[in-house]
Structure 1
Amino acid sequence: MNKENMMLGMEALSLIDEDIKKAYTEIGLPAERSSPEGFETFLSTIISQQLSTKVAMIIKDRVVALMEDLTPESLLNIPDQSLRDAGLSWRKVEYAKGLAEAIATNRFDIDNLGKLSDDDAIKAITEIKGFGRWSAEIYLMFSLDRKDVFPADDLGLLVALKHLKGLPEKPTAKQAREIVKHWSPWQSAGALFLWQYYHQLNLPKKA
C-alpha cells in the first residue's frame, strides 16, 4: 500500500475507531510495504517459512544461483538434491516444485490473480500446496495492493489488537475478524498499523 492510500486509510479509520485515532496520534503513519507480483514472490514465501529473514535471504540467493533465469521452468530443471543442498528442506523442495509445475502447466494462472476478487484470489492461491490463507492474504496486501484484507492468523496482529482494544486476552482469528469488521474497506491499512503498533511498543509475543 502506497503512502497516499495509507494516509487515506488511516484518516478513515481514525474517524470510525477511537482506539485507532488515539494510537495513530502517538505512533504516526506506517511505512509503505510492497512486493512484486509473480513467481519470485511466491518462491520467496516458500523459502522463508519458519526461517529468519537473514537465513531465508541466504538460501534464496543459493537457489537463484542454480537457476538459468527466475522462471518456473528453470526451477523444474534443477535436481531436487541440488535444492536440498542449497538449504531447502525436502518439504520445501516439494512445495517449490509443485508451485513451479502448477504455473508451468497453467493450472495456477499467476498472471490473472490481479483480475480476481479477494476471495477468488485467496482460493486460487490456497489450492497450491504450501500456501495457507495467511500467505494468500499477505500476497494480496503487498503484491496486489488490495486495501481490505486482514490476515487474522498473524500472531503479531492478534497481540497488537488485544493491547489496542484493552482486551483481557488475545482474540482468536475469528474474533479478530469480527472486531475489525467495521474497518472495511480499509482493513489493510489497519493491519499495517497494528504491525507498526506491535513493533514500536515492543509488545510481548505471548498474549
Structure 2
Amino acid sequence: MKNTNEPFESSHLSQSGSNSNLSFSYENDGSDLRLRVPTEFSFEENYNHLSTATNESLYTLREGRIYKAIAVGEEDTVVEIAAEGEHYLRIRFIEEPPVDSPTLREGVARYVHDWFDLGTDLKPFYEMAAGDPLLKEAVVSFYGLRNMGIPDLYEAVCWGILGQQINLGFAYTLKRRFVEKFGRFIERGGERYWLFPTAEDIAVLTPEDLSAAGMTTVKKCEYLVDTARLIASGELTKEQLLQTRDVKQAEKRLVQIRGIGPWTAHYVLMRCLRMPDAFPIDDVGLHHSIRHVLGLDAKPSKERILELSAGWTLWESYATFYLWRFLY
C-alpha cells in the first residue's frame, strides 16, 4: 500500500524514437510511478479503444484500470495503469515488494510513455483535421486518443504477419495461441499476465514447431521464424530502422524480408517506429472507414485516397489510426 505522504521525485529522461529530440519525465515515490500526460490526452478514449480487442492476450482491463506484464531486460513485472485526474497516469506495481531497481522503474516508465505515445504533440494534427472532410468528425468523436503502439519490434512484425489476409477476430485468436504456446506469464492474484515471445525464443524453433501449434499457414510460420532470427542476430533492429529517418528507406529495408510487404512494413513503421508519415494505404479497414465517413457505395480507389489524404502530410499515421477507430 502506497504511503500517500511520501513525496514524488521527478526523473528526466531522453526519449528515443522518431521524435528523438523530445524528453520525458516520470515521478517516483518509491512505490508508484506517475507520468504527466499532454493536454490532448484522454485516458477514457484510450481505454475504450483497448476494450475493443475482446480476445487480447497481453493486457487485462478491469474497472477503468489496465493491467499489463512488462519486461525490462531480464526483469519482469506486472503493473496497474490508471488515470489520476486529468494530468497524470499512475503506475502501480502489483503484489511486489518495494521495487528498488532503478533500471526496472525507468524501463516501465519508458514503456508506458511509448505505448501511449505521450511524446507526440497532437495540436498540429487537430488543427489540420478540423478542416479535413474525412477527419473532422473523428477528432471530435475520439479526442485525446493516441496511436497506441507496439514498442517491441518483433511483436509488431508478428502482429503484422499474423493479420495478413484474415479478419481481425481470427488474428487475435492466432496471437493468443502464439503467446500462450511460446511466451511466458507472471501470476498475480491467481491470474496470468502474459509476455509476448521474444525473437530469441522463436529463433531456435522451426516453422514446423509453430505450425504444430496451430499457427495458420506454413508460409506464415516460416516468416515468423525467419524474422525472429534476423532480430535475434542483430541483423534487423529498431535502432537501424530509426536511423534511416525516412519512411521510404525504412520501408525498403523491411520489404526485403520474406513475408513483409508494403502493408506490413507501414503497419510496423506506424505502430512501432512511430514514423508520422507511415501510411498503410492498402489497408482494407482504412478503405471501409473512408467509405463509412463519406457514405460511398463502394470502397474508394487508391487514386481517390491519395487525393483525400493530400493534406495529411506527416500525419498520415495518425489520420489512419483515427479513421480505424470508426470500425474498431
Output the TM-score relative to the length of structure 2: 0.52
Query: Once structures 1 and 2 are overlaid, which stretch shifts more, 29-38 or 104-113?
Result: 104-113
Q: Could you tell me how far apart the structure 1 residues matched to 2:144 and 2:269 are?
A: 18
Q: In the alignment, what sits opposite 1:78?
A: 205
Describe the shift of the 1:55–1:107 C-alpha distance in structure 2 as closer, same or farther (beyond 3 A): closer
**CA separation of 1:198/1:5 partners in 2, compared to 1, >3 Å: closer, same or farther?**
farther
- Counterpart mapping for 1:1-207 below 5 A: 2=117, 5-14=121-130, 16-25=131-140, 27-29=141-143, 31-32=145-146, 33-49=148-164, 50=166, 51-64=170-183, 70-88=197-215, 89-104=217-232, 106-116=234-244, 117-199=246-328
Change (3 A) 1:79 1:18: closer
Query: Residue 125 of structure 1 aligns to a residue in which SS?
Result: helix
Distance 1:48 1:169 in 2: 23
The runs of 5 or more residues in structure 2 that have no matched partner are: 1-115, 185-195
Larger-Rg structure: 2
Structure 1 unaligned blocks of 5 or more: 200-207
Mean alpha-carbon deviation: is it higher for 175-184 or for 115-124? 175-184
Change (3 A) 1:111 1:71: farther
Cα gap change, 1:174 to 1:57, in 2 (>3 Å): farther
In the alignment, the residues of structure 1 paired with residue 129 and residue 308 of structure 2 have an alpha-carbon distance, to the nearest angstrom, of 13
Cα deviation code 1:116-147 (max 9, x no counterpart): 11011111111111111111111111111122
Greater relative contact order (Cα < 8 A, sep 6+)? 1
SS in 1 for 2:274: coil
Measured on the aligned residues, the alpha-carbon RMSD in Å equals: 2.7
**Structure with a larger share of its residues in strand:** 2
> How far does residue 106 in structure 1 lie from its aligned partner after superposition?
4.9
Q: Report deviation, 1:196.
A: 1.6
Higher helix share: 1
Instruction: Specify the code of the residue in structure 1 equivalent to 2:211.
Output: R
Is the 2:160–2:267 contact (alpha carbons within 8 Å) kept by the matching residues of 1?
no
The amino acid of 2:213's aligned partner reads A
Q: What CA distance in whole angstroms lies between the structure 2 residues aligned with 1:84 and 1:104?
A: 21
Q: For each residue in 1:134-193, what CA deviation from the matched residue of structure 2 results, as whole angstroms up to 9, or x when unmatched? A: 111111111111222321111121122123234453112343123202111222221122
Distance 2:318 2:232 in 1: 34
- Give how far 1:110 is off: 4.3
